[in-house]
Chains A and B, each alone.
Chain A
Amino acid sequence: MDAPETPTDGLNIVVCIKQVPDSAQIRVHPVTNTIMRQGVPTIINPYDLFALEEAMRLRDQYGGQVTVLCMGPPMAEDALRRALGLGADKAVLITDRRFAGSDTLATSFALATALTRLGADHPVDIVFTGKQTIDGDTAQVGPGIASRLELNQLTYVSAIDTLDQGKGEIVVRRRAEGGVQVLKSKLPCLITMLEGSNEIRRGSVADMLRAARAELTVWSAEEAGVEDVMMCGLRGSPTVVKRVFAPSARDEQAEMVTVEGKQPAQIGDAIIDLIFAAQPKLEADLSAALN
């Protein structure tokens, strides 16, 4: 299948979105303690919606187009259609059995390969990803794509202050451990968007209708541009999951404070007696710290 047409002017932006199970509805089997995925609805990874909204804002301001890109099983088409309904212009699904079992290294390989193909005619200016996903939750795929494509890497971005298309310059606010860095960098870049940085728009009726009819670009590994399938999926993944198990229960029972027939003040004292009996040093340290 051909690559979607790219704009001749304005920004060429790609947002990577992942389809994930809706965690709010995940249930754990009470007996086997395993996750029950059957029948769990899927959603766009919630963190990716902040990236999508920011991408669409830039497009609305500077012109250009927003393409959403997803690697996943054929049913991930749902996530892409939802993104179109929210206002994305084009959607690309890369789907292939040989992508199954990808860890983050293999995932960033597949996505970076597809991004190269997408930028063949008109280079991609900005790649957006979410901060992390709610299932794998590694936050490694964004930096992985940036390294592979040698894009300037801007992670944990809370706001884009300015964008100068002529100079290809961008100024962003990046969340660091004890503060915020204001960074000036250049396009092309990869931005991982922080949660809470904006609010996803409601799609227009026109977008919803378009999304339902739209023809998605669907690529196999070869069509996406993969030359060496050994770099995909399980075979291309250096990490190996050796064991999955349930956390063990604590042996001792909680020591219960009896409350029957006690006044609140007595309950307070009873709890404190137990706390200080268990942690004798705490009483001295607290008194010293507070007096």
Chain B
Amino acid sequence: MKKELPEKFRSYKHVWVFVELERGKVHPVSWELMGEGRKLADKLGVDLAGVVLGPKSDETRQAIKETYHYGADVCYICEDPALADYRNEPYTRALTDLVNTHQPEIMLLGATTLGRDLAGSVATTLKTGLTADSTELDVDDEKSLAATRPTFGGTLLCTIHTLNFRPQMATVRPRVMAMPEPDRSRSGRMVWHSLKMDEADIVTKVLEYVADATTDDANLAYADIVVAGGMGLRVPENFRLVTRLADVLGGEYGCSRPVVQKGWLPADRQIGQTGNTIRPRLYIAAGISGAIQHRVGVEGADLIVAINTDPAAKIFEFAHMGVVADALTVLPALADAFERRLGRRAMAS
């Protein structure tokens, strides 16, 4: 299977991370990738670069600065009004032109709606390999990117390589990698690029942007504390016990997939392989059996506490703490106990 890397790709060098800047804000997955990219670059002995595309603005400048703080040595920058809102055409053009000009060996993007839209186009235009939703990145003895991802249903993992093409591309979902500590003293080189495209050449126009209402919006992926319930809660009304404990702790609530399938909670509350990946400091799972598809979404939690009536439940195989008891009793008891412990003010909130 293995051939020599074609001559034209031998000059491809350095690790790139696409910095996802949308409406003035950098998606945190970009910094998580920067942390991983730094490790790969150090292993290969090459530079880590961030690619920042956006309009000329203070926010774009801020994104560039932070790209260095999170580990980049170089920033490739394209500033153009046509890059103000994400659209596939100008973004694909800018990124493929940059790759063809500066020739990175590895390129990482977040597996967000933006990152997946862009990565699929760029990889096809460049005719190279793209591994989706990687959960682990490494370089092997032959300096080839080894991207590991769950295979069917998450029951097995597979490691995918792009041996004979460059760049080697991979996407990673938010919260799968740890957020690195920024070093605010770092800075680096800037390389400018111009978008060889006019607004008049771009077919697709953004007529409007409707921001999601921020009130009842689930932000599970970035919550410090998550309380979730599964089918063990039996009826939808019992989810009040889950939301109350989450409220007491100032955290988010979620659930397993069958709870969503039953229509008890909306899809954005689902945790697991086909829902949110979470990485909280504390995860409390009540009445959840701990199927592999649920497990892969919660394994990044610092502390997992499971409440389940069945001592043989799979969840106890990866939880850090377990309680074999009825969740309908333990959840309210736990909420009361936290209120007592954390002081009266918490009760009011």
Task: Report yes or no: A250 in contact with B317, Cβ–Cβ below 8 A.
Answer: yes
Task: Report yes or no: A176 in contact with B129, Cβ–Cβ below 8 A.
Answer: no
Contact of B187 with A by CB under 8 A: no
Cross-chain contact of B113 among A146, A152, A176, A186 (Cβ < 8 A): A176
Task: Report yes or no: B159 in contact with A242, Cβ–Cβ below 8 A.
Answer: yes
Task: Report yes or no: A152 in contact with B204, Cβ–Cβ below 8 A.
Answer: yes
- Name which residue of chain A comes closest to B338, CB basis: A272
Least Cβ–Cβ distance between A112 and chain B, in angstroms:
9
B295-347 contacts to A (CB < 8 Å): 296, 302-303, 305-306, 316-325, 329-330, 332-338, 341-343, 345-346
Residues of B contacting A1 in the complex (Cβ-Cβ under 8 angstroms): none
Contact of B235 with A by CB under 8 A: no
Contact of B114 with A by CB under 8 A: yes
* Given A185-B204, A264-B333, A267-B330, also A242-B161 (CB < 8 A): yes
B70-109 contacts to A (CB < 8 Å): 85-89, 92
Task: Report yes or no: B332 in contact with A147, Cβ–Cβ below 8 A.
Answer: no
Task: Report yes or no: A181 in contact with B160, Cβ–Cβ below 8 A.
Answer: no
- Name which residue of chain B comes closest to A143, CB basis: B120
A210-252 vs B, CB cutoff 8 Å, 1 = contact: the mask equals 0000000000000000000000000001111111111101101
Task: Report yes or no: A140 in contact with B130, Cβ–Cβ below 8 A.
Answer: yes
Q: When chains A and B are docked, how far (Å) is the Cα of A262 from the Cα of B337?
A: 14
Task: Report yes or no: A183 in contact with B337, Cβ–Cβ below 8 A.
Answer: no
**Of the 9-residue stretches A50-58, A66-74, A197-205, A281-289, which lies at the interface with chain B?**
A281-289
Task: Report yes or no: A183 in contact with B343, Cβ–Cβ below 8 A.
Answer: no
Contact of A23 with B by CB under 8 A: yes
Contact of B176 with A by CB under 8 A: no
Residues of A contacting B265 in the complex (Cβ-Cβ under 8 angstroms): none
Contact of A5 with B by CB under 8 A: no
Task: Report yes or no: A179 in contact with B209, Cβ–Cβ below 8 A.
Answer: yes
Q: When chains A and B are docked, how far (Å) is the Cα of A143 from the Cα of B88?
A: 9
Contact of B211 with A by CB under 8 A: yes
Task: Report yes or no: B156 in contact with A246, Cβ–Cβ below 8 A.
Answer: yes
* Given A153-B88, A279-B282, also A147-B27 (CB < 8 A): no
Residues of A contacting B282 in the complex (Cβ-Cβ under 8 angstroms): 275, 279, 282
* Given A278-B303, A278-B321, also A240-B1 (CB < 8 A): yes
Least Cβ–Cβ distance between B338 and chain A, in angstroms:
6
**Of the 9-residue stretches A6-14, A90-98, A101-109, which lies at the interface with chain B?**
A101-109
Residues of A contacting B163 in the complex (Cβ-Cβ under 8 angstroms): 238, 240
* Given A179-B211, A289-B250, also A156-B113 (CB < 8 A): yes
Contact of A31 with B by CB under 8 A: no
B146-175 vs A, CB cutoff 8 Å, 1 = contact: the mask equals 100001110111111111110000000000
Contact of A26 with B by CB under 8 A: yes
* Given A35-B155, A140-B132, A275-B282, also A177-B114 (CB < 8 A): yes
Q: When chains A and B are docked, how far (Å) is the Cα of A72 from the Cα of B277?
A: 31
Q: When chains A and B are docked, how far (Å) is the Cα of A152 from the Cα of B92?
A: 12
Task: Report yes or no: B156 in contact with A34, Cβ–Cβ below 8 A.
Answer: yes
Contact of B215 with A by CB under 8 A: no
A20-58 contacts to B (CB < 8 Å): 21, 23, 26, 28, 33-35
Task: Report yes or no: B123 in contact with A140, Cβ–Cβ below 8 A.
Answer: yes
Least Cβ–Cβ distance between A40 and chain B, in angstroms:
10
Contact of A120 with B by CB under 8 A: no
Task: Report yes or no: A246 in contact with B323, Cβ–Cβ below 8 A.
Answer: no
B262-305 contacts to A (CB < 8 Å): 267, 274, 281-282, 292, 296, 302-303, 305
Task: Report yes or no: B322 in contact with A239, Cβ–Cβ below 8 A.
Answer: no
- Name which residue of chain A comes closest to B112, CB basis: A177
- Contacts A/B (CB < 8 Å), 14 sampled: A35-B155, A35-B156, A139-B116, A143-B119, A153-B117, A176-B86, A176-B113, A179-B209, A179-B210, A240-B160, A250-B317, A268-B338, A269-B337, A287-B343
A residues neighboring B (CB under 8 Å): 21, 23, 26, 28, 33-35, 103-105, 108, 134-144, 146-148, 152-156, 171, 175-186, 196, 237-247, 249-250, 252-257, 259, 264-265, 267-269, 271-272, 274-275, 278-279, 282-283, 286-287, 289-291
Nearest 5 pairs between A and B by C-beta? A143-B120, A268-B337, A238-B129, A138-B132, A264-B333
Given contacts A143-B121, A147-B124, A269-B337, 6 further A-B contacts (CB under 8 A): A103-B129, A143-B120, A181-B85, A240-B161, A246-B155, A257-B321
